[in-house]
Amino acid sequence: MNYDLWKIFLDAVELGSLSKVATLHNSNQPQISRQMNELETQCGGRLFNRTGRGVELTDLGQHLLPKIRSWLNVTEQLNNEILHSTDTPIGTVRIASLPSTAHPLLTTLYQVLKQKYPLIKLSVREGQGVHLEKWLEDGSVDLAILYRFNPTPKQGDIYLTEADTYLVGCHADALTQSKEIHFKEITHLPLVTFCRPSNWRNFLDHMAYEHGLELNIVFEADSISLQTHLVSTSGIYTMLGPQALMKASQYTPIQASKIISPELKRYISLSLSKHGYLTPACKAVMDEIKLLSYLL
């Protein structure tokens, strides 16, 4: 079993494109294609169907995928145990983050690690909540910084801070000029929010149902930039946390009111993959993130 070849296979599954895999590995597409052909020869069948949009797994590829994920995770864990037989923090720590929480937290983390733990490297991926949950679940990342909605941490989560939710309207919008707005007042408004599947959407639906209300969602978009552009130009509204709101307001003329009665609380959590091995490097990164949580 060639670890590097199967790692390329897994990257191709996640990226859906051999050209993107080539860019990731500082290689070229013909070389990546040859490596995939070598794997397919070893397996006695095609792992991918090549399409105009990229690559898709064949039935054989689908069958092997969970087994390969498991084997790669075990191999990486063994490598970590060998590397970290001493207490010196060394190695790569893979972190997934919501775009709104990545900076300045993780950029500052890099500067801290460079001074205190120069042998630690970071690999950071950004995505929305469902992507982060998936990466945690399959062991693609060691840690994730994401929103939780239960006030009590579970499954080893560490809550870094809590965040209110704000109704966001265009600049000079009459409704969002007030400091606060009741949840029931927004139910008739045209809203743009995240696409399903989404833990945030599930939370909103639950809160609306619990209070006998119905939300008027007229547009779905995972991009906060697109959401706030629509808000500033189209007379619709969105709901964001303070981190996303602060960043968006630097580029888009918007204003916001805190939602109350009830307050829609979210909790920024530092979560560890259940497939992960808590190496000294991972523990050091977790400790530094907790110290830097004031940046959230």
> What pLDDT digit, counting tens, does each position of 120-143 carry?
999 999 998 888 998 888 888 899
pLDDT averaged over every residue in the chain? 91
Query: Are the C-beta atoms of residues 25 and 32 closer than 8 Å to each other?
Result: yes
Helix, strand, coil shares of the chain, percent, nearest 5, are 45, 25, 30
Short-list 86, 140, 117, 88, CA closest to 289: 117
Helices (H), 53-117: 59-83, 99-102, 105-116
Element (H, E) at 224: helix 224-234
Q: Are 49 and 66 in contact (CB under 8 A)?
A: no
pLDDT computed for residue 89 by the predictor = 86
The DSSP bridge partners found for residue 94 are: 123
Pick the more confident residue, 141 or 290: 290
Ordered by where they begin, the domains of the chain are 1-70 (1.10.10.10), 84-162+266-296 (3.40.190.10), 165-264 (3.40.190.290)
Rounded mean pLDDT of 155-170?
96
Q: What is the per-residue pLDDT for 73?
A: 76
Q: pLDDT digits over 210-269, tens only?
A: 999 999 999 999 999 999 999 999 999 999 999 999 999 999 999 999 999 999 999 999
What is the reported pLDDT for 24? 87
| Rg value, the chain, Cα | 22
Percent of the chain past pLDDT 70, that is, above it, reads 96
Instruction: Tell me the CA distances in angstroms from 191 to 18, 109, 182, 217, one per residue in order.
Output: 38, 35, 15, 5
User: Picking from 77-81, 268-272, 287-291, which range would have the lowest pLDDT averaged per residue?
Assistant: 77-81
